[in-house]
Amino acid sequence: MQQQLRSQVLTSLSILIFFSLWQGLAFFIDSNTLPPPVTVAKVLWREIQTGQLPYHLGVTLLRLIISFSIAMILGCLIGIALGQHKQLNTFFDHWLIIFLNIPALVTIILCYVWFGLIEVAAILAVVINKVPNVVVTIREGSRALDQDLLEMAECYRFGKWKTFAHVIWPQLYPFVMAASRSGLALIWKIILVVELLGRSNGMGYQLHLFFQLFDVTSILAYTIAFVSIIQLIEWLILKPLDQKALRWRR
């Protein structure tokens, strides 16, 4: 209990110092390029009230959910297959390295050139960027599957579905969580670029607009809103999932 209190005090102190430093620096520089936190908070509130921020944030989050889900499902399936089949892995290993090293910007531009400035191209660009990262992580998990437990499942005739749900999935779970966390961080950064280059709504589009207007206050207000949402996803979804799945550990 005391340790929990100490941890909460430390977290609060850390946030307080961060904002104090920001306030101090803004006061010292005294320029439109770095507005103080209070001014940013006022703009944030105004944007929420006008409905602009919730709209654009909602659009970006929808793109994030769709592309994240597709990338995770595809990445998991391919990763498991490559981890289990040596020859398949040898064949596709170079493809994977190529896709891992193509800059996100190139994929986005190519998708827009080939498919036009449409929603599908935007989602596809994000998915192509993310899938190789998921594949690499899940492939490692798939390679590390405990053969003893798989033999036990075969011997006791678990069948395919029961083996996947009760033997394979719990072993892959930490790798899926790692891929989800890094995926979320990577995807939202890519989505902003995708929106900046070829969409007429979303956070990326708005940030581009504010950049043209040199409106740093709005840029910071939108950034705070977005980072807060990602943090909420971590607290409300990812952490409880982690705790639930690892409750069996000593």
119 binds other proteins (CB under 8 A): no
Among 2, 200, 214, 250, binds other proteins (CB under 8 A): 250
245 binds other proteins (CB under 8 A): yes
Q: Where are the beta strands (DSSP E) in the chain?
A: none
User: If 0-12 CB within 10 Å is exposed, 13-18 middle and 19+ buried, where does residue 13 land?
Assistant: exposed
Min dist CB 145 to other proteins, Å, is 13
Among 85, 154, 232, 236, binds other proteins (CB under 8 A): 154
160 binds other proteins (CB under 8 A): no
158 binds other proteins (CB under 8 A): yes
170 binds other proteins (CB under 8 A): yes
Size of the site for other proteins (CB under 8 A): 16
Q: How many helices (H) and strands (E) does the chain have?
A: 12, 0
144 binds other proteins (CB under 8 A): no
Question: Is 205 in contact with 58 (CB distance < 8 Å)?
Answer: no
Spatial separation of the C-alpha atoms in residues 64 and 214, rounded to whole Å: 27
Spatial separation of the C-alpha atoms in residues 63 and 198, rounded to whole Å: 13
**Amino acid at the residue 20:** S
86 binds other proteins (CB under 8 A): no
Spatial separation of the C-alpha atoms in residues 113 and 102, rounded to whole Å: 16
Q: Of 32-40, 132-140, 154-162, 227-235, which part binds other proteins (CB under 8 A)?
A: 154-162
Among 46, 85, 162, 181, binds other proteins (CB under 8 A): 162
Place of tokens 């708005």: 206
Binding site for other proteins (CB under 8 A): 148-149, 151-152, 154-156, 158, 162, 166-167, 170, 245, 248-250
